[in-house]
Amino acid sequence: MRLLLAGCEYAGGTTLAHAIDDWMFENMGTRFSLIHEHWKIPHTSGHPDDTTSEEQAWLLQASPKFKEMHQRHSLYYHVQANTFNQHDGMIVGGHIEEAVYAPMFFGYGGRGEPHDRELVAHQVENTILGFTKDTVIVDFTADTDVIAQRMKNDPHENGIISEGDIDKVKSRFGEIIASSLLGNKITVDNSGDISDTMAQFITKIEPFLTDTDRSRIITHSRLAGS
């Protein structure tokens, strides 16, 4: 199963990613070897991100030129053969997140500018499609008031968005996902309990399960005696 989760900060991407990983283990007997969630400046290293406060401050102070190069190299590094030579992979954010946040908050990659992030996103996607057409975009969203409340309850260290940004960021994610070259897409509402979100995911992902996924589900069920 190859998934690219994309959605606004505080819409619950991390929680959803780990819930999907648990579901895959319970139903297929395997987990994602890595969950690549390291795309939001300054949280750009580790699985999960393990940058120190000092390192985050250093990156935030870097010039837009350096931030752009740093992120572009990371995007290109993650679309190579070694990333796609196994049956499973999960990215949270990736090039879609970068296409939203870079022009809005970090001063690079705007439309028509060098390394326009919409064009870079399509370059990344064309590379992905050269390896596999099985990738599914999971467009996760949440109500604006829910996102705002989560932001107040559990603020991220060096988070990107503020409450006034929520609607425009959600709208931009919708635009970038709609223009994605990756044709397999589902949308889940993560406003409520994660169990409700997973119920949506399980129903909507079913048509996109690969033969390998289906075989593992059958085998795991038989081994479990169910």
Tokens at 161, concatenated: 């968005």
Q: For position 225, what pLDDT does the model report?
A: 77
If one compares 82 and 215, the residue with the highest pLDDT of the two is 215
Lowest mean pLDDT among 6-15, 46-55, 80-89, 162-171: 80-89
Positive or negative: CA dihedral 96, 97, 102, 105: positive
Q: Are 109 and 101 in contact (CB under 8 A)?
A: no
**Mean pLDDT of all residues belonging to the chain:** 96
Q: Enumerate residues 6+ apart whose C-beta is below 8 A from 221.
A: 27
Alpha carbons 181 and 183: distance in angstroms, whole number: 6
The mean-pLDDT minimum among 78-87, 108-117, 190-199 falls in 78-87
pLDDT for 60 beyond 70: yes
Structure confidence at residue 226 (pLDDT): 61
Write down the pLDDT at residue 40: 96
Confidence of residue 136 (pLDDT cuts 50, 70, 90): very high
Q: What percent of the chain has pLDDT over 90?
A: 94
Q: Among 74-88, 152-166, 171-185, where is mean pLDDT lowest?
A: 74-88
CATH C-level class of 2-223 = alpha beta
197 pLDDT above the threshold of 80: yes
How far apart (Å, rounded) are the C-alpha atoms in residues 122 and 179? 9
Structure tokens at 113: 């500018």
137 HSE (CA, 13 A, CB side): 25
Q: Could you tell me the residue ranges of all domains in the chain?
A: 2-223
**Model pLDDT, residue 85:** 78
Q: Work out the average pLDDT over 1-20.
A: 97
Taking residues 148-162, report their average pLDDT: 97
Mean pLDDT for the stretch of residues 135-145: 98
Distances (CA, A) of 4 to 7, 65, 135, 160: 10, 26, 7, 20
Res. 29 pLDDT band, cuts 50 70 90:
very high
